[in-house]
Structure 1
Amino acid sequence: MFMFDKPILQIKNLSKQYGEGCSYCQQEDAKLERNFCPVCKTVYACKNISIDLHRGEILGIVGESGSGKSTLMKCLYFDEEITTGEGYLTDYFNGKENIFTQSGQQKRFIRNSLLGMVYQNPMLGLKMDFSSISNIAEKQIAAGNRNVEQMVDRSNELLDKVNISIKRSKEPPKNFSGGMQQRVQIAKALSSNPPILLLDEVTTGLDLSVQAAVLDLIKTIQRVMQISMIVVSHDLAVIRMLADRTVVMLNGQIIEEGLTDQILEDPQHAYTQQLVYSLL
């Protein structure tokens, strides 16, 4: 149903390179070593990435380590500056302003109010020595909330939603297991009611039973809150469980995209075929 709506997020021709580039690698038919220029050593982490995300949809991005998917997420959350490209959010000036050309202040507003991020490494998303409730309140303060009672209530509500006992709300995340830390991150990301949640390899390094619990939580949140998500993983089993549509990345570029069932049942690109068959 969401496929016919105007996308909540549109990314057009996003590129991120590390290095200046040279006359060799900037040729249309340049032969790079994966996404690396052998002449000037420039790395093309993302090259002409275009994606649409619809309201209430989970978009999966899958690819091996170094394919550019985590760099893309960092660019979307303004952790990294893009090299070129455009991005439009329906909930920001009705999708008429390129989010990547906005001022630092406006980018902070978008990041704090319209996006939520869950990092692979919880240390990037949480202050490990602060209490869990303080971590969640921090996002609300950044989004402009100054009502302490309201923030405490919201933080406790979210901890309950991610199955962490209120009794442990004053404990710092460093006391928690990896799975619990990810759940605190999810609660923090949701605390300002963003329409879009970005999840970067959130189950990597977790035990299988813990992975299953985190994935089930993500699916429940999406169903109940109708929040749009971009889920990045190198694990096609994670994408199979979560994603409505899937984008496959290799060497900084999109090589295949479509409905997740279609990608899994009839992969067209040789790399996607290899990924799918390794899952069987």
Structure 2
Amino acid sequence: MHEEPILQVRNLQKQFGTGCVECRQMETRKLVKNFCKSCGTVYACQNISFDLYPGEILGIVGESGSGKSTMMQCLYFDSEVSSGEAYINTPELVSNNVFEMSAQQKRSIRNHVYGMVYQNPVQGLKMNFSSVGNIAEKLIAAGNRNVGQMEETSKKLLENVHIPLHRMKEEPRNFSGGMQQRVQIAKALSNNPPILFLDEVTTGLDLSVQANVLDLIKVIQRDLGISMIVVSHDLAVIRMLADRTVVLLNGKIIEEGLTDQVLEDPQHEYTQQLVYSLL
């Protein structure tokens, strides 16, 4: 039996600008990279479609400006899509295009179904709340009201991401970048989300810290069976984490497949350049 995807994304489009005669039609678009010279419209995501399966880590790789982070912002409702569909395979949401849901329904999805770890912890954490306070905030948003229970959950999560408990009342602004990322991961996991988004989570961290964060992600995935989408421009990160990989260039998917396949035998010229620049 073939498993059903937990998340299906179809023809996700995100453009900045209204478009013109030169660029409105996908088939006849004349763009420089993803930019229309005639009217200045940027096509950040062009017809992106993929499936995410239960317990799978899907890697999204591409250079700066390829549309990776814009795609994540659209999926997590930080940014409105221009058009497209996304379906989450849970009993309450099945066969509803979540991009068309109300702001309240989207908030509920963010509180119960999704977790997000941003490249910059400032986006994911309140830097002047304690670490416990940050996690509690997410739990309260998901409807939790039991203070004792929230403290217990927070402690457990912070322990799981190796934050010393004697520092749990401290504010993340006093922490190193690696510790901030780990608090962010704990916060993202607090509502047991079936789907976790990780956007360039190791960028700017020292190599030894990167390795710790990546190990942590692997352990979480193995123990909790969460489905994850990991965005990175770093192929080493994708190689370590992802079961399957999608390669983006100028807002379009140019190659996808099992990670080993894509990295060992890249078909597209751009993927070949990416892979060989690593060797």
Fold conserved between structures, TM > 0.5: yes
Mapped to 2, the partners of 1:33 and 1:118 lie a distance apart of 32
Mapped to 2, the partners of 1:43 and 1:68 lie a distance apart of 10
Residue 13 of structure 2, aligned match among 1, 15, 31: 15
Partner of 2:209: 210
Mapped to 1, the partners of 2:149 and 2:95 lie a distance apart of 33
SS at match of 1:197: strand
Partner of 1:25: 23
SS at match of 2:260: helix
Mapped to 2, the partners of 1:98 and 1:26 lie a distance apart of 24
Structure 2 counterparts to residues 66-85 of structure 1, below 5 A:
66-85=65-84
Mapped to 2, the partners of 1:48 and 1:26 lie a distance apart of 13
Runs (4 or more) in structure 1 with deviation over 3 Å come to: none
SS at match of 1:264: helix
Mapped to 2, the partners of 1:43 and 1:146 lie a distance apart of 44
String of CA shifts for 1:51-99, please: whole Å, max 9, x gaps.
1000000000000000000000000100000000000001253521110
Structure 2 counterparts to residues 177-192 of structure 1, below 5 A:
177-192=176-191
Partner of 1:87: 86
Aligned Cα root-mean-square deviation (Å): 0.9
Matched, 1:39 2:38: yes
Mapped to 1, the partners of 2:96 and 2:233 lie a distance apart of 32
Asked whether the equivalents of residues 57 and 241 of structure 2 are also in contact (C-alpha less than 8 Å), the reply is: yes
SS at match of 2:28: coil
Structure 2 counterparts to residues 79-118 of structure 1, below 5 A:
79-91=78-90, 93-118=92-117
Mapped to 1, the partners of 2:19 and 2:110 lie a distance apart of 30
String of CA shifts for 1:189-229, please: whole Å, max 9, x gaps.
00001000000000000000000000000000000000000
The percent identity for this pair of structures is 72
Mapped to 2, the partners of 1:201 and 1:90 lie a distance apart of 26
Partner of 2:271: 272
Matched, 1:65 2:50: no
Structure-2 change in CA distance of 1:265 and 1:241 (3 Å): same
Instruction: Report the TM-score, using the length of structure 1 for normalisation.
Output: 0.98
String of CA shifts for 1:135-169, please: whole Å, max 9, x gaps.
01111111111111111100000000000111100
Mapped to 1, the partners of 2:72 and 2:236 lie a distance apart of 20
Asked whether the equivalents of residues 22 and 28 of structure 2 are also in contact (C-alpha less than 8 Å), the reply is: no
Structure-2 change in CA distance of 1:92 and 1:67 (3 Å): farther
- The amino acid that maps onto 2:54 is R
SS at match of 1:237: helix
- The amino acid that maps onto 1:25 is C
Mapped to 1, the partners of 2:81 and 2:142 lie a distance apart of 23
Number of equivalenced pairs: 278
SS at match of 2:74: helix
Mapped to 2, the partners of 1:91 and 1:199 lie a distance apart of 21
Matched, 1:145 2:128: no
Partner of 2:223: 224
- The amino acid that maps onto 1:167 is H
